[in-house]
């Protein structure tokens, strides 16, 4: 089982959430609430609130608190909308003066202000939703065109998103499946994930899944064998005796049979953790790992553990607690569609051209 800090570079980061400060206590309390939730989400005490003026703690106080907790690197998050004078001049000046008073070297990095994030549109959209929802109108679409129309809408909403061309069909398929554009921002691809995934799909390598819902959702019409690790012989009994989840025990029991094949985890973080342990310890070499478990206990941590692999095993994952069986199946189905359906359509066009009179 992995331990917290598996990606540790030897230095400890501290995070300073900086707001302007207000004479109204309610406004300041919102900042403290934000920091409290960040501590809970990241399971870390290395988050502190600080105010430029009018409220306490000051930026100097926040920096000193983090350094006393052992921070070697400070990440300053300006809880401002845009890059005004506070961002570009006032806050950096206060930080620099505070750092100069310390008795040790501490590096500082300033992040972009809140208003520069592309998801600000989503926040404004959500706040306006109730007011604007009455303006919606139904659109009549031929049933055969619904999916294409959906993809066109997704494409238009992704305008400006910096997605590599080979990854975009997968991201679009996940967004289409979930209705959630967060996946356009939080999916993580190993550099060889798409090419090696398509190769494994083309060679019809076995697809191993952690749960039957993922198994059921994967397209099998091109002859792919899809096996669920829960159904391997003796898994339930061994899981009980070893105190493991069935999914983790199933992954462990397959061992080297996973080499060269696709492993898809859409539900159980324990299965993904076990798989990455085996890749690290036993040099297991799946052709592709799709690790997208959902949940609040070790889900996001297991994905970061997967993304920390540096031995060349390709993976597709995402950040955070979102995921699930439908997302995992959608990723594999996107690879299958890219490799087989598109090729089938090209073949059909070639047949039509070849059947023309006179050819």
Mean pLDDT, range 214-231, rounded to an integer: 95
Q: What is the pLDDT of residues 82-131, one digit of tens each?
A: 899 999 999 999 999 999 999 889 999 999 998 877 778 778 888 888 88
Q: What is the pLDDT of residue 6?
A: 53
Mean pLDDT, range 54-71, rounded to an integer: 96
| pLDDT-derived band at 357, boundaries 50, 70, 90 | very low
Residue 26 belongs to a domain: yes
- Do 191 and 112 share a domain, yes or no? no
The tally of domains found in the chain comes to 2
Domain boundary among 53, 82, 116: 116
Q: What is the pLDDT of residue 354?
A: 45
Mean pLDDT, range 56-85, rounded to an integer: 95
Domain boundary among 116, 146, 177: 116
Output 7 or 260, whichever has higher pLDDT.
260
DSSP state of 86: I
Q: What is the pLDDT of residue 118?
A: 73
- Omega of the bond prior to 358 within 30 degrees of 0, cis? no
Q: Which long-range CB contacts under 8 A does 255-260 form with residues at least 24 apart? A: 255/282, 255/284, 256/284, 258/208, 258/284, 258/286, 259/284, 259/285, 259/286, 260/200, 260/205, 260/285, 260/286, 260/287
Decide: 166 and 190 in contact? Cβ < 8 Å: no
Q: Is residue 346's pLDDT more than 80? A: no
Residue 129 belongs to a domain: no
Q: What is the mean pLDDT of the chain?
A: 89
- Do 58 and 189 share a domain, yes or no? no
**Displacement of CA 188 from its chain's centroid (Å):** 6
- Do 206 and 336 share a domain, yes or no? yes
**Displacement of CA 221 from its chain's centroid (Å):** 29
Residue 354 belongs to a domain: no
Q: Whole-prediction pTM value?
A: 0.75
End-to-end CA distance of the chain: 64
Q: What is the pLDDT of residue 348?
A: 54
| pLDDT-derived band at 61, boundaries 50, 70, 90 | very high
Q: What is the pLDDT of residues 319-342, one digit of tens each?
A: 999 999 999 999 999 999 999 876
Residue 143 belongs to a domain: no
- Do 181 and 271 share a domain, yes or no? yes
Q: Is residue 249's pLDDT more than 70? A: yes
Q: What is the pLDDT of residue 179?
A: 92
- Do 101 and 170 share a domain, yes or no? no
Question: Dihedral of CA 344/350/355/357: which sign?
Answer: positive
- Do 247 and 308 share a domain, yes or no? yes
- Do 61 and 170 share a domain, yes or no? no
- Do 182 and 329 share a domain, yes or no? yes
- Do 178 and 41 share a domain, yes or no? no
Residue 73 belongs to a domain: yes
Which of the residues 176, 190, 321, 347 is marked catalytic? 176
Q: What is the pLDDT of residues 11-45, one digit of tens each?
A: 899 999 999 999 999 999 999 999 999 999 888 99
Q: Is 176 a catalytic residue?
A: yes
Residue 145 belongs to a domain: no
Domain of 27, CATH number, reads 3.40.50.1400
Output 3 or 54, whichever has higher pLDDT.
54
Q: Is residue 359's pLDDT more than 90? A: no
Residue 300 belongs to a domain: yes
**Domain that residue 68 falls in:** 13-116
Q: What is the pLDDT of residue 129?
A: 85
Domain boundary among 92, 116, 140: 116
Mean pLDDT, range 189-211, rounded to an integer: 96
- Do 187 and 309 share a domain, yes or no? yes
Mean pLDDT, range 183-210, rounded to an integer: 96
- Do 271 and 334 share a domain, yes or no? yes
By mean pLDDT, which of 171-175, 238-242, 263-267 is the weakest?
238-242
- Do 77 and 217 share a domain, yes or no? no
Q: What is the pLDDT of residue 207?
A: 97
Domain of 328, CATH number, reads 3.40.50.10230
Mean pLDDT, range 263-282, rounded to an integer: 96
Q: Could you tell me what percent of the chain has a pLDDT over 70?
A: 92
Residue 130 belongs to a domain: no
């Amino acid at each position: 089982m992995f331990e917290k800090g598996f990606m540790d570079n030897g230095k400890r980061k501290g995070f300073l959430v900086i707001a302007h400060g207000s004479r109204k206590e309610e406004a300041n309390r919102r900042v403290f609430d934000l920091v409290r939730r960040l501590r809970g989400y990241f399971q870390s005490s290395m988050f502190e609130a600080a105010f430029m003026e009018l409220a306490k703690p000051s930026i100097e106080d926040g920096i000193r608190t983090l350094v006393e907790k052992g921070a070697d690197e400070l990440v300053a998050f300006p809880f401002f909308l845009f890059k005004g004078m506070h961002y570009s001049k006032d806050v950096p000046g206060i930080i620099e003066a505070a750092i100069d008073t310390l008795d040790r070297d501490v590096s500082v990095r300033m992040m972009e202000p809140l208003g520069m994030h592309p998801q600000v549109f989503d926040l404004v959209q959500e706040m306006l939703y109730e007011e604007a929802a009455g303006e919606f109108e139904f659109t009549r679409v031929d049933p055969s065109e619904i999916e294409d129309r959906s993809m066109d809408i997704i494409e238009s909403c992704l305008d400006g998103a910096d997605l590599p061309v080979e990854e975009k069909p997968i991201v679009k398929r996940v967004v289409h499946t979930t209705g959630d554009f967060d996946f356009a921002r939080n999916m993580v691809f190993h550099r060889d994930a798409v090419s090696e995934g398509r190769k494994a799909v083309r060679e019809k390598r076995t697809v191993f899944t952690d749960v039957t819902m993922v198994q059921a959702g994967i397209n099998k019409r091109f002859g792919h064998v899809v096996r669920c690790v829960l159904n391997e012989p003796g898994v339930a009994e061994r899981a009980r005796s070893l105190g493991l989840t069935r999914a983790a025990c199933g992954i462990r029991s397959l061992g080297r049979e996973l080499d060269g094949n696709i492993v898809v985890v859409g539900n159980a973080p324990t299965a993904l953790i076990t798989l990455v342990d085996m890749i690290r310890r036993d040099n297991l070499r799946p052709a592709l790992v799709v690790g997208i478990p959902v949940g609040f206990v070790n889900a996001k941590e297991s994905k970061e553990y997967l993304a920390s692999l540096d031995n060349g095993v390709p993976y597709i994952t995402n950040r955070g607690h979102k995921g699930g069986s439908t997302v995992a199946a959608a990723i594999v189905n996107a690879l299958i569609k890219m490799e087989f359906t598109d090729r089938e359509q090209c073949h059909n066009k070639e047949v039509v051209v070849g059947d023309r009179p006179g050819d």
